[in-house]
Amino acid sequence: QVQLVESGGGLVQPGGSLRLSCTAEGFAFSTYVMNWYRQAPGKERELVAAMPSTGRSTKYADSVKGRFTISRDNAKNTVYLRMSSLKPDDTAVYYCNAFRVLIGIKSDYWGQGTQVTVSA
């Protein structure tokens, strides 16, 4: 059974840090692009950070560049999002996503989301 389970969200003061984790099971994690998305109330879901299966050429939304870092540990089937210098605008539900297109077949898995609230 495919599962993506996020953890590490919570309430943090502006300027603080959090590390989100997403542990996967039920599919070949190391062959998937791993992404972090977020969705704030009343807004569309947006891509925050992406890391290919090779671990190279990471991609970030302009709003988080220099503050967020995505990483993965294929031995642990886990992807991380280190968030620092957090701002109230970072408040959102953060989702882990696994994506792959192989021989024309698309696989797209989502976690249940974890809430991050940045507030004094």
Residues 2 and 29: their CA atoms lie apart, in Å, by 10
Summarised one tens digit per residue, pLDDT across range 62-107 is 999 999 999 999 999 999 999 999 999 999 999 999 999 999 999 9
Contact residues for 67 (Cβ-Cβ < 8 A; gap 6+): 83, 84, 85, 86
Summarised one tens digit per residue, pLDDT across range 55-64 is 788 999 999 9
Cα dihedral: 71, 73, 74, 79 (round 10): -50
Distances (CA, A) of 54 to 70, 74, 80: 13, 10, 15
- pLDDT of 34 > 90? The answer is yes
pLDDT of residue 78: 97
Contact residues for 114 (Cβ-Cβ < 8 A; gap 6+): 6, 7, 8, 9, 20, 93, 94
Which residue(s) pair with 39 in the sheet? 93
